[in-house]
Chain A
Protein backbone atom coordinates (compact mmCIF):
# COMPACT_ATOMS: atom_id res chain seq x y z
CA UNK A 1 0.00 0.00 0.00
CA UNK A 2 2.71 2.44 1.02
CA UNK A 3 4.77 1.41 -2.00
CA UNK A 4 2.03 2.22 -4.48
CA UNK A 5 1.22 5.44 -2.70
CA UNK A 6 4.87 6.37 -3.08
CA UNK A 7 5.00 5.26 -6.74
CA UNK A 8 1.98 7.25 -7.88
CA UNK A 9 3.08 10.21 -5.79
CA UNK A 10 6.46 10.03 -7.47
CA UNK A 11 4.80 10.21 -10.90
CA UNK A 12 3.01 13.35 -9.78
CA UNK A 13 6.24 14.78 -8.46
CA UNK A 14 8.02 14.04 -11.74
CA UNK A 15 5.43 16.00 -13.70
CA UNK A 16 5.70 18.96 -11.34
CA UNK A 17 9.50 18.79 -11.53
CA UNK A 18 9.43 18.68 -15.33
CA UNK A 19 7.21 21.75 -15.53
CA UNK A 20 9.43 23.61 -13.07
CA UNK A 21 12.56 22.63 -15.02
CA UNK A 22 11.11 23.68 -18.39
CA UNK A 23 9.56 26.92 -17.15
CA UNK A 24 12.47 27.67 -14.85
CA UNK A 25 14.96 27.31 -17.68
CA UNK A 26 12.93 29.53 -19.97
CA UNK A 27 12.61 32.25 -17.34
CA UNK A 28 16.19 31.95 -16.12
CA UNK A 29 17.77 32.06 -19.56
CA UNK A 30 15.32 34.48 -21.13
CA UNK A 31 14.76 37.18 -18.57
CA UNK A 32 18.22 38.74 -18.81
CA UNK A 33 17.73 40.29 -22.20
CA UNK A 34 14.20 41.64 -21.95
CA UNK A 35 14.27 45.39 -22.20
CA UNK A 36 11.99 48.03 -23.67
CA UNK A 37 14.40 48.19 -26.59
CA UNK A 38 14.12 44.47 -27.20
CA UNK A 39 10.34 44.65 -27.33
CA UNK A 40 10.14 47.72 -29.57
CA UNK A 41 12.99 47.36 -32.08
CA UNK A 42 13.38 45.35 -35.26
CA UNK A 43 16.00 42.58 -35.61
CA UNK A 44 19.37 43.81 -36.81
CA UNK A 45 22.50 42.26 -38.33
CA UNK A 46 20.95 38.95 -39.37
CA UNK A 47 18.96 38.65 -36.15
CA UNK A 48 22.04 38.75 -33.95
CA UNK A 49 21.11 42.13 -32.47
CA UNK A 50 18.06 44.32 -32.01
CA UNK A 51 14.59 43.30 -30.92
CA UNK A 52 11.54 41.37 -31.96
CA UNK A 53 8.93 44.08 -32.45
CA UNK A 54 7.94 42.99 -35.98
CA UNK A 55 7.37 39.45 -34.72
CA UNK A 56 5.16 40.68 -31.87
CA UNK A 57 3.28 42.97 -34.25
CA UNK A 58 2.83 40.13 -36.75
CA UNK A 59 1.59 37.73 -34.09
CA UNK A 60 -0.96 40.26 -32.84
CA UNK A 61 -2.10 41.09 -36.39
CA UNK A 62 -2.43 37.40 -37.22
CA UNK A 63 -4.42 36.68 -34.08
CA UNK A 64 -6.70 39.71 -34.55
CA UNK A 65 -7.52 38.76 -38.13
CA UNK A 66 -8.04 35.16 -37.10
CA UNK A 67 -10.38 36.19 -34.27
CA UNK A 68 -12.44 38.40 -36.57
CA UNK A 69 -12.85 35.44 -38.88
CA UNK A 70 -13.40 32.63 -36.39
CA UNK A 71 -15.53 34.03 -33.53
CA UNK A 72 -18.69 35.14 -35.39
CA UNK A 73 -18.64 32.11 -37.66
CA UNK A 74 -17.93 29.68 -34.85
CA UNK A 75 -20.57 31.13 -32.53
CA UNK A 76 -23.25 31.21 -35.24
CA UNK A 77 -22.46 27.58 -36.11
CA UNK A 78 -22.74 26.55 -32.47
CA UNK A 79 -26.07 28.42 -32.19
CA UNK A 80 -27.31 26.56 -35.23
CA UNK A 81 -26.18 23.19 -33.89
CA UNK A 82 -27.66 23.73 -30.45
CA UNK A 83 -30.81 25.79 -31.13
CA UNK A 84 -31.91 25.01 -34.67
CA UNK A 85 -30.55 21.66 -35.77
CA UNK A 86 -32.99 18.76 -35.36
CA UNK A 87 -31.82 16.96 -32.24
CA UNK A 88 -32.35 13.47 -33.56
CA UNK A 89 -30.89 13.87 -37.04
CA UNK A 90 -28.33 11.12 -37.67
CA UNK A 91 -26.49 13.25 -40.23
CA UNK A 92 -26.00 16.10 -37.78
CA UNK A 93 -24.84 13.68 -35.13
CA UNK A 94 -22.18 12.47 -37.55
CA UNK A 95 -21.19 16.04 -38.39
CA UNK A 96 -20.86 16.89 -34.71
CA UNK A 97 -18.56 13.92 -34.13
CA UNK A 98 -16.52 14.95 -37.18
CA UNK A 99 -16.24 18.47 -35.78
CA UNK A 100 -14.97 17.15 -32.43
CA UNK A 101 -12.41 14.97 -34.18
CA UNK A 102 -11.12 17.75 -36.39
CA UNK A 103 -9.73 19.39 -33.26
CA UNK A 104 -7.29 16.48 -33.09
CA UNK A 105 -6.11 16.59 -36.70
CA UNK A 106 -2.42 17.65 -36.78
CA UNK A 107 -1.85 21.34 -37.39
CA UNK A 108 0.57 20.60 -40.24
CA UNK A 109 -2.36 19.13 -42.19
CA UNK A 110 -4.11 22.48 -41.86
CA UNK A 111 -0.93 24.07 -43.18
CA UNK A 112 -1.13 21.84 -46.26
CA UNK A 113 -4.76 22.76 -46.70
CA UNK A 114 -4.02 26.47 -46.32
CA UNK A 115 -1.30 26.37 -48.97
CA UNK A 116 -3.26 24.26 -51.41
CA UNK A 117 -6.67 25.83 -50.91
CA UNK A 118 -6.24 29.45 -49.82
CA UNK A 119 -2.96 30.37 -51.49
CA UNK A 120 -3.04 28.33 -54.68
CA UNK A 121 -6.76 27.85 -55.27
CA UNK A 122 -8.49 30.98 -53.92
CA UNK A 123 -5.52 33.36 -54.15
CA UNK A 124 -4.52 32.41 -57.67
CA UNK A 125 -8.20 32.40 -58.60
CA UNK A 126 -8.62 36.00 -57.41
CA UNK A 127 -5.50 37.02 -59.32
CA UNK A 128 -6.78 35.46 -62.53
CA UNK A 129 -10.20 37.09 -62.27
CA UNK A 130 -9.36 40.56 -60.90
CA UNK A 131 -5.69 41.22 -61.59
CA UNK A 132 -5.20 39.64 -65.01
CA UNK A 133 -2.84 36.97 -63.72
CA UNK A 134 -0.48 39.29 -61.83
CA UNK A 135 0.50 37.70 -58.54
CA UNK A 136 -1.22 39.78 -55.86
CA UNK A 137 -3.04 37.29 -53.68
CA UNK A 138 -1.68 34.02 -55.10
CA UNK A 139 1.24 33.96 -52.69
CA UNK A 140 1.69 33.40 -48.96
CA UNK A 141 0.14 36.34 -47.10
CA UNK A 142 -1.17 37.29 -43.69
CA UNK A 143 -4.79 36.96 -44.82
CA UNK A 144 -4.27 33.33 -45.86
CA UNK A 145 -2.29 32.53 -42.71
CA UNK A 146 -5.03 33.94 -40.48
CA UNK A 147 -7.78 32.13 -42.41
CA UNK A 148 -5.82 28.87 -42.09
CA UNK A 149 -5.46 29.50 -38.37
CA UNK A 150 -9.18 30.25 -38.20
CA UNK A 151 -9.93 26.85 -39.75
CA UNK A 152 -7.64 25.25 -37.17
CA UNK A 153 -9.30 26.94 -34.19
CA UNK A 154 -12.87 26.70 -35.51
CA UNK A 155 -13.61 23.29 -33.92
CA UNK A 156 -12.39 24.61 -30.54
CA UNK A 157 -14.67 27.64 -30.75
CA UNK A 158 -17.70 25.69 -31.91
CA UNK A 159 -17.28 22.96 -29.29
CA UNK A 160 -16.74 25.33 -26.33
CA UNK A 161 -19.59 27.59 -27.40
CA UNK A 162 -21.90 24.63 -27.83
CA UNK A 163 -21.02 23.42 -24.34
CA UNK A 164 -21.84 26.88 -22.98
CA UNK A 165 -25.18 26.93 -24.81
CA UNK A 166 -26.03 23.43 -23.59
CA UNK A 167 -25.41 24.44 -20.00
CA UNK A 168 -28.33 26.90 -20.12
CA UNK A 169 -31.43 25.22 -18.69
CA UNK A 170 -34.37 24.81 -21.06
CA UNK A 171 -36.58 26.56 -18.52
CA UNK A 172 -34.84 29.85 -19.42
CA UNK A 173 -35.83 29.36 -23.03
CA UNK A 174 -39.39 28.42 -22.11
CA UNK A 175 -39.79 31.52 -19.94
CA UNK A 176 -38.63 33.71 -22.83
CA UNK A 177 -41.12 32.05 -25.17
CA UNK A 178 -43.94 32.36 -22.64
CA UNK A 179 -43.29 36.11 -22.47
CA UNK A 180 -43.89 36.25 -26.21
CA UNK A 181 -40.30 36.35 -27.46
CA UNK A 182 -39.51 35.01 -30.91
CA UNK A 183 -36.76 32.44 -31.30
CA UNK A 184 -34.25 35.06 -32.44
CA UNK A 185 -35.13 37.34 -29.53
CA UNK A 186 -34.83 34.40 -27.17
CA UNK A 187 -31.38 33.53 -28.57
CA UNK A 188 -29.99 37.06 -28.51
CA UNK A 189 -31.60 38.25 -25.25
CA UNK A 190 -31.48 35.08 -23.16
CA UNK A 191 -29.17 32.39 -24.51
CA UNK A 192 -26.17 34.47 -25.61
CA UNK A 193 -26.01 36.84 -22.60
CA UNK A 194 -26.17 33.85 -20.25
CA UNK A 195 -23.45 31.90 -22.05
CA UNK A 196 -21.17 34.83 -22.80
CA UNK A 197 -18.39 33.67 -20.48
CA UNK A 198 -18.36 30.25 -22.12
CA UNK A 199 -18.13 31.90 -25.52
CA UNK A 200 -15.31 34.13 -24.27
CA UNK A 201 -13.43 31.12 -22.91
CA UNK A 202 -13.60 29.44 -26.30
CA UNK A 203 -12.40 32.61 -27.98
CA UNK A 204 -9.45 33.06 -25.66
CA UNK A 205 -8.43 29.40 -25.95
CA UNK A 206 -8.53 29.82 -29.73
CA UNK A 207 -6.41 32.96 -29.52
CA UNK A 208 -3.89 31.24 -27.26
CA UNK A 209 -3.68 28.31 -29.66
CA UNK A 210 -3.39 30.68 -32.63
CA UNK A 211 -0.56 32.60 -30.99
CA UNK A 212 1.39 29.43 -30.30
CA UNK A 213 0.96 27.32 -33.44
CA UNK A 214 3.65 27.53 -36.08
CA UNK A 215 3.07 24.62 -38.45
CA UNK A 216 -0.05 26.06 -40.19
CA UNK A 217 1.57 29.41 -41.02
CA UNK A 218 4.97 28.17 -42.21
CA UNK A 219 3.83 28.04 -45.84
CA UNK A 220 0.85 30.34 -45.77
CA UNK A 221 2.43 33.67 -44.86
CA UNK A 222 5.16 33.74 -42.22
CA UNK A 223 8.50 35.20 -43.34
CA UNK A 224 12.06 34.77 -42.04
CA UNK A 225 12.73 38.47 -41.98
CA UNK A 226 10.93 41.51 -43.34
CA UNK A 227 12.20 45.09 -43.31
CA UNK A 228 8.63 46.43 -43.05
CA UNK A 229 5.53 45.76 -40.96
CA UNK A 230 2.54 44.09 -42.64
CA UNK A 231 -0.01 46.78 -43.50
CA UNK A 232 -1.97 45.18 -46.33
CA UNK A 233 -3.82 41.89 -46.32
CA UNK A 234 -1.49 40.38 -48.90
CA UNK A 235 1.73 41.24 -47.07
CA UNK A 236 3.83 38.55 -45.48
CA UNK A 237 4.59 38.89 -41.79
CA UNK A 238 6.95 37.84 -39.02
CA UNK A 239 5.63 35.79 -36.13
CA UNK A 240 7.00 34.92 -32.68
CA UNK A 241 6.77 31.13 -32.92
CA UNK A 242 8.18 31.05 -36.44
CA UNK A 243 10.89 33.48 -35.39
CA UNK A 244 11.89 31.05 -32.63
CA UNK A 245 11.98 28.16 -35.08
CA UNK A 246 14.09 30.10 -37.57
CA UNK A 247 16.54 31.39 -34.99
CA UNK A 248 16.88 27.99 -33.34
CA UNK A 249 17.45 25.97 -36.50
CA UNK A 250 18.63 28.23 -39.31
CA UNK A 251 20.59 31.00 -37.66
CA UNK A 252 24.02 31.71 -39.17
CA UNK A 253 25.53 31.92 -35.69
CA UNK A 254 23.61 30.09 -33.00
CA UNK A 255 25.82 31.24 -30.11
CA UNK A 256 25.33 34.96 -30.77
CA UNK A 257 21.57 34.66 -31.35
CA UNK A 258 21.06 32.65 -28.15
CA UNK A 259 20.16 35.55 -25.79
CA UNK A 260 17.62 36.89 -28.30
CA UNK A 261 16.26 33.41 -28.92
CA UNK A 262 15.78 32.70 -25.20
CA UNK A 263 14.07 36.03 -24.62
CA UNK A 264 11.74 35.50 -27.59
CA UNK A 265 10.75 32.13 -26.14
CA UNK A 266 10.02 33.83 -22.82
CA UNK A 267 7.84 36.46 -24.52
CA UNK A 268 5.82 33.82 -26.37
CA UNK A 269 5.53 31.73 -23.21
CA UNK A 270 4.25 34.64 -21.13
CA UNK A 271 1.82 35.62 -23.89
CA UNK A 272 0.20 32.18 -24.25
CA UNK A 273 0.33 31.51 -20.51
CA UNK A 274 -1.52 34.70 -19.61
CA UNK A 275 -4.14 34.04 -22.30
CA UNK A 276 -4.69 30.54 -20.93
CA UNK A 277 -5.00 31.77 -17.39
CA UNK A 278 -7.53 34.42 -18.38
CA UNK A 279 -9.57 31.63 -19.99
CA UNK A 280 -9.28 29.49 -16.84
CA UNK A 281 -10.32 32.38 -14.59
CA UNK A 282 -13.38 33.16 -16.73
CA UNK A 283 -14.36 29.52 -16.71
CA UNK A 284 -13.94 29.21 -12.94
CA UNK A 285 -16.04 32.35 -12.48
CA UNK A 286 -18.70 30.94 -14.77
CA UNK A 287 -18.87 27.68 -12.82
CA UNK A 288 -19.09 29.57 -9.52
CA UNK A 289 -21.92 31.77 -10.77
CA UNK A 290 -23.81 28.76 -12.12
CA UNK A 291 -23.73 27.03 -8.77
CA UNK A 292 -25.45 30.00 -7.15
Chain B
Protein backbone atom coordinates (compact mmCIF):
# COMPACT_ATOMS: atom_id res chain seq x y z
CA UNK B 1 0.00 0.00 0.00
CA UNK B 2 2.82 2.33 0.90
CA UNK B 3 4.56 1.75 -2.42
CA UNK B 4 1.31 2.30 -4.24
CA UNK B 5 0.94 5.72 -2.64
CA UNK B 6 4.50 6.62 -3.55
CA UNK B 7 3.90 5.70 -7.18
CA UNK B 8 0.82 7.82 -7.24
CA UNK B 9 2.83 10.71 -5.90
CA UNK B 10 5.24 10.49 -8.83
CA UNK B 11 2.35 10.45 -11.28
CA UNK B 12 0.86 13.49 -9.62
CA UNK B 13 4.28 15.17 -9.86
CA UNK B 14 4.49 14.48 -13.58
CA UNK B 15 1.01 15.80 -14.25
CA UNK B 16 1.53 18.84 -12.06
CA UNK B 17 4.84 19.74 -13.75
CA UNK B 18 3.28 19.40 -17.18
CA UNK B 19 0.41 21.61 -16.12
CA UNK B 20 2.74 24.25 -14.67
CA UNK B 21 4.95 24.24 -17.76
CA UNK B 22 2.07 24.57 -20.15
CA UNK B 23 0.51 27.39 -18.16
CA UNK B 24 3.92 29.09 -17.85
CA UNK B 25 4.33 29.03 -21.62
CA UNK B 26 0.92 30.60 -22.07
CA UNK B 27 1.86 33.06 -19.34
CA UNK B 28 4.74 34.39 -21.46
CA UNK B 29 2.40 35.92 -23.96
CA UNK B 30 -0.21 37.03 -21.43
CA UNK B 31 2.44 38.77 -19.37
CA UNK B 32 4.05 40.64 -22.25
CA UNK B 33 0.64 41.68 -23.55
CA UNK B 34 -0.42 42.79 -20.07
CA UNK B 35 2.59 45.11 -19.74
CA UNK B 36 1.77 46.79 -23.04
CA UNK B 37 -1.94 47.13 -22.23
CA UNK B 38 -1.66 50.67 -20.74
CA UNK B 39 -1.13 51.97 -24.28
CA UNK B 40 -4.79 51.21 -24.89
CA UNK B 41 -6.23 52.02 -21.48
CA UNK B 42 -4.15 54.51 -19.49
CA UNK B 43 -5.02 58.20 -19.68
CA UNK B 44 -1.54 59.34 -18.65
CA UNK B 45 0.08 57.42 -21.45
CA UNK B 46 -2.42 58.72 -23.96
CA UNK B 47 -0.94 62.18 -23.37
CA UNK B 48 2.31 60.92 -24.84
CA UNK B 49 1.27 58.28 -27.30
CA UNK B 50 -1.58 56.17 -28.59
CA UNK B 51 -2.18 53.77 -31.43
CA UNK B 52 -2.42 56.44 -34.10
CA UNK B 53 0.78 58.10 -32.88
CA UNK B 54 2.54 54.74 -32.99
CA UNK B 55 1.51 53.96 -36.53
CA UNK B 56 0.62 57.20 -38.35
CA UNK B 57 2.91 60.08 -39.31
CA UNK B 58 2.80 63.02 -36.87
CA UNK B 59 3.49 66.70 -37.26
CA UNK B 60 6.22 67.47 -34.71
CA UNK B 61 7.83 70.38 -36.50
CA UNK B 62 5.50 72.72 -38.43
CA UNK B 63 8.22 73.45 -41.00
CA UNK B 64 8.72 69.83 -41.91
CA UNK B 65 5.18 68.51 -42.17
CA UNK B 66 4.13 65.06 -41.07
CA UNK B 67 6.88 62.57 -40.44
CA UNK B 68 7.74 59.27 -38.74
CA UNK B 69 10.19 59.68 -35.86
CA UNK B 70 11.51 57.40 -33.15
CA UNK B 71 13.01 59.64 -30.45
CA UNK B 72 11.80 58.24 -27.14
CA UNK B 73 14.08 60.29 -24.89
CA UNK B 74 13.77 63.72 -26.48
CA UNK B 75 11.80 66.56 -24.81
CA UNK B 76 8.66 65.56 -26.67
CA UNK B 77 9.01 61.78 -26.86
CA UNK B 78 8.24 60.49 -30.34
CA UNK B 79 7.30 56.84 -30.67
CA UNK B 80 6.77 55.94 -34.29
CA UNK B 81 6.99 52.17 -34.57
CA UNK B 82 6.84 52.41 -38.37
CA UNK B 83 10.48 53.59 -38.54
CA UNK B 84 11.59 50.50 -36.65
CA UNK B 85 9.32 48.23 -38.64
CA UNK B 86 10.85 49.57 -41.84
CA UNK B 87 14.31 48.86 -40.40
CA UNK B 88 13.34 45.29 -39.59
CA UNK B 89 11.87 44.79 -43.06
CA UNK B 90 14.97 46.20 -44.77
CA UNK B 91 17.37 43.99 -42.85
CA UNK B 92 15.13 40.93 -43.24
CA UNK B 93 14.82 41.57 -46.97
CA UNK B 94 18.60 41.66 -47.44
CA UNK B 95 19.04 38.57 -45.27
CA UNK B 96 16.52 36.50 -47.24
CA UNK B 97 17.69 37.71 -50.67
CA UNK B 98 21.18 36.64 -49.69
CA UNK B 99 20.45 33.42 -47.80
CA UNK B 100 17.48 31.75 -49.47
CA UNK B 101 18.85 31.20 -53.01
CA UNK B 102 22.23 29.99 -51.73
CA UNK B 103 20.71 27.67 -49.15
CA UNK B 104 18.12 26.16 -51.50
CA UNK B 105 20.61 25.62 -54.31
CA UNK B 106 23.12 24.08 -51.94
CA UNK B 107 20.41 21.75 -50.63
CA UNK B 108 19.50 20.74 -54.20
CA UNK B 109 23.16 20.05 -54.90
CA UNK B 110 23.74 17.84 -51.86
CA UNK B 111 20.45 15.99 -52.16
CA UNK B 112 20.29 15.48 -55.93
CA UNK B 113 23.73 15.72 -57.53
CA UNK B 114 26.53 15.21 -55.06
CA UNK B 115 28.31 12.08 -53.92
CA UNK B 116 27.92 10.74 -50.39
CA UNK B 117 31.38 11.96 -49.55
CA UNK B 118 30.48 15.60 -50.23
CA UNK B 119 27.21 15.16 -48.33
CA UNK B 120 29.06 13.95 -45.24
CA UNK B 121 31.49 16.84 -45.63
CA UNK B 122 28.81 19.54 -45.87
CA UNK B 123 26.77 18.30 -42.93
CA UNK B 124 29.17 19.25 -40.09
CA UNK B 125 29.93 22.55 -41.87
CA UNK B 126 26.25 23.47 -41.72
CA UNK B 127 26.10 22.32 -38.09
CA UNK B 128 28.99 24.65 -37.25
CA UNK B 129 27.21 27.57 -38.92
CA UNK B 130 23.98 26.71 -37.09
CA UNK B 131 25.79 26.46 -33.77
CA UNK B 132 27.52 29.84 -34.00
CA UNK B 133 26.07 32.04 -31.23
CA UNK B 134 24.48 35.15 -32.73
CA UNK B 135 26.78 37.37 -30.68
CA UNK B 136 29.74 35.77 -32.46
CA UNK B 137 28.14 36.46 -35.86
CA UNK B 138 27.40 40.00 -34.70
CA UNK B 139 31.01 40.42 -33.67
CA UNK B 140 32.16 39.09 -37.05
CA UNK B 141 29.89 41.52 -38.89
CA UNK B 142 30.89 44.47 -36.74
CA UNK B 143 34.65 44.00 -36.62
CA UNK B 144 35.49 42.24 -39.88
CA UNK B 145 32.67 42.15 -42.44
CA UNK B 146 31.81 45.85 -42.08
CA UNK B 147 35.42 46.88 -42.75
CA UNK B 148 35.69 44.64 -45.81
CA UNK B 149 32.45 45.92 -47.26
CA UNK B 150 33.39 49.53 -46.66
CA UNK B 151 36.76 49.04 -48.33
CA UNK B 152 35.13 47.25 -51.24
CA UNK B 153 32.10 49.50 -51.86
CA UNK B 154 33.05 52.79 -50.18
CA UNK B 155 29.76 53.23 -48.30
CA UNK B 156 29.42 56.37 -46.18
CA UNK B 157 28.08 54.43 -43.24
CA UNK B 158 30.19 51.53 -42.08
CA UNK B 159 27.29 49.82 -40.32
CA UNK B 160 24.21 49.62 -42.52
CA UNK B 161 21.26 47.50 -43.55
CA UNK B 162 23.27 45.44 -46.02
CA UNK B 163 26.04 44.48 -43.58
CA UNK B 164 23.54 43.53 -40.89
CA UNK B 165 21.34 41.75 -43.41
CA UNK B 166 24.19 39.61 -44.74
CA UNK B 167 25.22 38.69 -41.19
CA UNK B 168 21.65 37.64 -40.39
CA UNK B 169 21.66 35.75 -43.66
CA UNK B 170 24.51 33.67 -42.24
CA UNK B 171 22.22 32.70 -39.37
CA UNK B 172 19.33 31.98 -41.74
CA UNK B 173 21.26 29.77 -44.19
CA UNK B 174 21.44 26.68 -41.93
CA UNK B 175 17.70 26.83 -41.18
CA UNK B 176 16.65 27.11 -44.83
CA UNK B 177 19.23 24.54 -45.93
CA UNK B 178 18.27 21.92 -43.33
CA UNK B 179 14.51 22.15 -43.89
CA UNK B 180 14.88 22.22 -47.69
CA UNK B 181 17.14 19.17 -47.63
CA UNK B 182 14.70 17.32 -45.38
CA UNK B 183 11.92 18.15 -47.82
CA UNK B 184 13.93 16.98 -50.85
CA UNK B 185 14.91 13.76 -49.07
CA UNK B 186 11.29 13.12 -48.19
CA UNK B 187 10.40 12.84 -51.88
CA UNK B 188 10.16 9.08 -52.56
CA UNK B 189 12.85 7.53 -54.73
CA UNK B 190 10.17 6.14 -57.06
CA UNK B 191 9.47 9.71 -58.29
CA UNK B 192 13.07 10.09 -59.41
CA UNK B 193 13.28 6.59 -60.87
CA UNK B 194 10.15 7.22 -62.88
CA UNK B 195 11.48 10.45 -64.36
CA UNK B 196 14.89 8.98 -65.13
CA UNK B 197 13.27 5.96 -66.77
CA UNK B 198 11.33 8.30 -69.05
CA UNK B 199 14.62 9.72 -70.26
CA UNK B 200 14.88 12.90 -68.16
CA UNK B 201 18.35 13.87 -67.08
CA UNK B 202 19.23 14.55 -63.45
CA UNK B 203 18.59 18.27 -63.65
CA UNK B 204 15.24 17.84 -65.39
CA UNK B 205 14.29 15.32 -62.71
CA UNK B 206 15.28 17.69 -59.96
CA UNK B 207 13.64 20.74 -61.51
CA UNK B 208 10.45 19.25 -62.93
CA UNK B 209 9.72 16.42 -60.49
CA UNK B 210 11.51 16.68 -57.16
CA UNK B 211 11.25 20.43 -56.60
CA UNK B 212 7.50 20.66 -57.29
CA UNK B 213 6.90 17.63 -55.09
CA UNK B 214 8.92 19.16 -52.25
CA UNK B 215 7.61 22.70 -52.78
CA UNK B 216 5.57 22.99 -49.56
CA UNK B 217 8.66 22.01 -47.58
CA UNK B 218 10.83 24.52 -49.39
CA UNK B 219 8.23 27.19 -48.82
CA UNK B 220 8.21 26.26 -45.13
CA UNK B 221 12.00 26.62 -45.10
CA UNK B 222 11.74 30.19 -46.40
CA UNK B 223 9.02 31.07 -43.91
CA UNK B 224 10.94 29.70 -40.92
CA UNK B 225 14.04 31.53 -42.16
CA UNK B 226 11.95 34.71 -42.28
CA UNK B 227 10.86 34.13 -38.68
CA UNK B 228 14.45 33.84 -37.55
CA UNK B 229 15.50 36.95 -39.48
CA UNK B 230 12.73 39.13 -38.03
CA UNK B 231 13.52 38.25 -34.45
CA UNK B 232 17.31 38.23 -34.59
CA UNK B 233 18.61 40.67 -32.01
CA UNK B 234 22.31 40.55 -31.20
CA UNK B 235 23.50 40.68 -34.82
CA UNK B 236 21.48 43.79 -35.67
CA UNK B 237 22.22 45.38 -32.33
CA UNK B 238 25.94 45.14 -33.08
CA UNK B 239 26.11 45.53 -36.85
CA UNK B 240 23.25 47.74 -38.03
CA UNK B 241 24.35 51.12 -36.66
CA UNK B 242 21.08 51.52 -34.72
CA UNK B 243 20.01 54.84 -36.22
CA UNK B 244 16.27 55.17 -36.70
CA UNK B 245 16.08 56.76 -40.14
CA UNK B 246 13.02 56.68 -42.38
CA UNK B 247 14.61 55.87 -45.72
CA UNK B 248 14.68 53.15 -48.33
CA UNK B 249 18.42 53.60 -48.85
CA UNK B 250 20.00 50.30 -47.82
CA UNK B 251 23.46 51.77 -47.29
CA UNK B 252 22.26 53.86 -44.34
CA UNK B 253 22.18 52.71 -40.74
CA UNK B 254 18.98 51.07 -39.54
CA UNK B 255 17.30 50.40 -36.22
CA UNK B 256 15.12 47.31 -35.96
CA UNK B 257 12.29 46.41 -33.61
CA UNK B 258 14.30 43.78 -31.75
CA UNK B 259 17.45 45.90 -31.41
CA UNK B 260 15.38 48.78 -30.06
CA UNK B 261 14.13 46.63 -27.19
CA UNK B 262 17.65 45.40 -26.48
CA UNK B 263 19.20 48.86 -26.56
CA UNK B 264 16.59 50.79 -24.60
CA UNK B 265 14.98 48.47 -22.07
CA UNK B 266 17.83 48.70 -19.57
CA UNK B 267 17.31 52.45 -19.07
CA UNK B 268 13.54 52.83 -18.91
CA UNK B 269 11.46 53.42 -15.80
CA UNK B 270 9.13 50.52 -15.05
CA UNK B 271 5.57 51.42 -16.02
CA UNK B 272 6.50 54.51 -18.03
CA UNK B 273 5.23 55.15 -21.54
CA UNK B 274 8.54 54.10 -23.02
CA UNK B 275 8.43 50.82 -21.04
CA UNK B 276 4.93 50.07 -22.29
CA UNK B 277 5.86 50.86 -25.89
CA UNK B 278 8.85 48.48 -25.70
CA UNK B 279 6.59 45.72 -24.37
CA UNK B 280 4.12 46.54 -27.12
CA UNK B 281 6.91 45.98 -29.65
CA UNK B 282 7.78 42.72 -27.86
CA UNK B 283 4.19 41.51 -28.04
CA UNK B 284 4.10 42.46 -31.70
CA UNK B 285 7.30 40.46 -32.41
CA UNK B 286 5.92 37.53 -30.42
CA UNK B 287 2.68 37.40 -32.40
CA UNK B 288 4.38 37.85 -35.78
CA UNK B 289 7.03 35.17 -35.24
CA UNK B 290 4.55 32.80 -33.61
CA UNK B 291 2.24 32.90 -36.59
CA UNK B 292 5.11 32.73 -39.07
CA UNK B 293 6.26 29.53 -37.36
CA UNK B 294 2.71 28.21 -37.30
CA UNK B 295 2.47 28.78 -41.05
CA UNK B 296 5.85 27.09 -41.53
CA UNK B 297 4.82 23.96 -39.64
CA UNK B 298 1.52 23.91 -41.48
CA UNK B 299 3.42 23.72 -44.78
CA UNK B 300 5.74 21.01 -43.43
CA UNK B 301 2.67 19.01 -42.47
CA UNK B 302 1.13 19.56 -45.87
CA UNK B 303 4.26 18.22 -47.50
CA UNK B 304 4.03 15.07 -45.40
CA UNK B 305 0.37 14.55 -46.21
CA UNK B 306 1.01 15.23 -49.88
CA UNK B 307 3.87 12.77 -50.21
CA UNK B 308 2.39 10.07 -48.02
CA UNK B 309 -1.05 10.40 -49.51
CA UNK B 310 0.08 10.05 -53.10
CA UNK B 311 2.96 7.63 -52.75
Contact = CB atoms under 8 A, between A and B. Distances in A.
Interface in A100-145: 100-113, 115-117, 120-121
A245 to B, nearest CB: 6
Contacts of A19: 125, 128-129
Interface string B65-107: 0000000000000000000000000000000000001111110
Interface residues of B, number: 89
A245 B234 contact: yes
Given A76-B14, A76-B17, A273-B128, A105 B231 contact: yes
Most buried by A among B18, B35, B224: B18
Contact of A8 (B17, B108, B266, B285): B108
A215 interface: yes
Nearest to A271: B133
B219 interface: no
Interface stretch (A39-47, A164-172, A206-214): A206-214
Nearest to B109: A8
Contacts of B135: 212, 214, 241-242, 244-245, 268
Contact of A112 (B13, B17, B22, B279): B279
B300 to A, nearest CB: 10
A213 B133 CA distance: 6
Contact of A215 (B122, B234, B290): B234
Contacts of A212: 131-136
B126 A12 contact: no
Contacts of A97: 294, 297
Interface string A264-277: 01001100110011
Given A15-B126, A101-B293, A265 B136 contact: yes
B22 A105 contact: no
A52 interface: no
Most buried by A among B25, B102, B238, B290: B25
Chain A interface SS verdict (over half): helix
B113 interface: yes
Contacts of A117: 27-28, 31
Interface stretch (B39-47, B245-253, B257-265): B257-265
B234 A158 contact: no
A12 B236 CA distance: 26
Interface residues of A, number: 83
Contact of A22 (B109, B114, B118, B140): B140
Interface string A1-42: 100110111111011101100110110000000000000000
Chain B interface SS verdict (over half): helix
A106 B289 contact: yes
B10 A184 contact: yes
Interface string A45-72: 0000000000000000000000000001
Nearest to A245: B135
A248 B139 contact: yes
A15 B107 CA distance: 11
Given A116-B35, A245-B238, A73 B106 contact: no
A5 B261 CA distance: 44
Contacts of B279: 112, 116
B290 A154 contact: no
Contacts of A98: 25-26
Given A79-B14, A261-B139, 20 more contacts: A8-B112, A8-B113, A11-B109, A22-B170, A25-B144, A26-B136, A26-B140, A98-B26, A102-B25, A105-B28, A105-B285, A111-B265, A184-B10, A213-B134, A215-B134, A215-B262, A245-B138, A245-B234, A248-B138, A276-B131
5 contacts: A12-B114, A77-B21, A103-B293, A104-B231, A116-B279
